[in-house]
Amino acid sequence: MAGLEVLVPETDDLPALIRRACEAAPLVLIDAALAERIPAAVLDALLSAPSPPVVVAPAVRGTALLPDIGSRLRRQLGVLE
């Protein structure tokens, strides 16, 4: 992908790295394994922010489960289940 920049967090700089990515990029993709290390409230805030769009991408090797995207989207859009 042209123009793609990959950021790899150290153990203690994850919040700063995500903040930097959200300030610089028009789209932020987060690996599912990395998303598991982000507190749920912080991840929900990232996913529901209007800009930039933040997407949890499936793990390439299938080692981490994706969050329940359907429920998350319904909750973010305010649609009752």
pLDDT for position 80: 62
Q: Does 77 score more than 80 pLDDT? A: no
Decide if 71 is inside a domain.
yes
CB 39 within 8 A of CB 15: no
Query: Where do the DSSP E strands lie in the chain?
Result: 28-31, 54-57
Task: Work out how many domains the chain is built from and give that number.
Answer: 1
58: DSSP letter: P
Decide if 14 is inside a domain.
no
Decide if 16 is inside a domain.
no
pTM of the model as a whole? 0.64
- Among 5, 65, 2, smallest CA distance to 31 is for 65
pLDDT band, very low/low/confident/very high, at 9 (cuts 50, 70, 90):
confident
Decide if 13 is inside a domain.
no
Decide if 15 is inside a domain.
no
**Between residues 1 and 72, the one the model is more confident about:** 72
- Compute the distance between CA of residue 66 and CA of residue 63 in angstroms, rounded to an integer: 10
Decide if 8 is inside a domain.
no
- Compute the distance between CA of residue 78 and CA of residue 81 in angstroms, rounded to an integer: 9
Decide if 4 is inside a domain.
no
- Residue 46: Cβ within 10 Å count: 21
Decide if 12 is inside a domain.
no
**Between residues 35 and 5, the one the model is more confident about:** 35
pLDDT digits (tens, 9 = 90+) for 41-67: 888 888 888 899 888 887 666 555 556
User: What is the span of the domain harbouring residue 60?
Assistant: 22-76
